Amino acid sequence: MPGTREGILNKLVAWVLKDPKAIFWLAGMAGTGKTSIAVTLSRMLQKEPAVVMGGGFFCSRSAGYIARTDVRRILPTLAGLLAGKSPEFARTLAVELEKDPRVGHKPVADQIGPLLQKPIAALSGMTIPLVFVIDALDECHDQTELAQLIKDIAEFESDGTVKVNSS
């Protein structure tokens, strides 16, 4: 709804543009508007020329798609979305996929390097923030894989331009 949650949205945009922290974790009780904020932020950042909106993944048990609750689908989806926006990223991702075409079906711990870290490292000279939005992680079924994803994101090595908003 226009005009709502402006305070948190302004804080999120400021985080994207100026804050050196790589992760913004939005937490709150069910039904408090976290998904609405994530959707609105994604739309805002797609229009922001000072940001590359890498992609978003919106987990959901009620969407009727098992893939929306499978934590192993998050990184392949984000990699595919960014590949569609960056030929340089897509080339490096293609090299990684040639080495291991099944990497997107492997455990999360085996995905982050070839699907995101190596291709992002190839984005030489990137000076503007690259943002990924992941919503409703609590809707994923495999808690072990989810814990691994959170760990991998927290340990993600980058030059500080990669940012992840999660709720």
**DSSP 8-state assignment for residue 114:** I
61-106: pLDDT as tens digits:
886 677 788 999 999 999 999 999 999 999 999 999 999 999 999 9
Q: In whole angstroms, what is the distance from residue 144 CA to residue 108 CA?
A: 10
Burial class of residue 20 in the structure, from the number of CB atoms within 10 Å of its CB (0-12 exposed, 13-18 middle, 19+ buried)? exposed
How far apart are alpha carbons 71 and 157 in whole angstroms?
Answer: 20
Q: How confident is the model at residue 114 (pLDDT cuts 50, 70, 90)?
A: very high
What average pLDDT does the structure give for the chain? 89
> Please, are residues 93 and 83 in contact by the beta-carbon 8 Å criterion?
yes
**Residue spans of beta strands (DSSP E) within 51-158:** 52-58, 130-135
Q: What is the pLDDT of residue 111?
A: 97
* 121 vs 94: which has the higher pLDDT: 94
Whats the size of the chain, residue-wise?
A: 167
What one-letter code names the amino acid at 81? L
Residue 114 amino acid letter: P
Q: Which residues are registered as beta bridge partners of 164? A: 23, 132
pLDDT for position 1: 55
Determine the 3-state secondary structure of 118 from DSSP.
helix
E-assigned strand segments in 7-126 = 23-25, 52-58
First and final C-alpha spacing in the chain: 19
Q: For residue 23, what pLDDT band results from cuts at 50, 70 and 90?
A: confident
pTM: 0.90
pLDDT digit string (tens) for 54-63? 999 999 888 6
Q: Output DSSP code: residue 139.
A: G
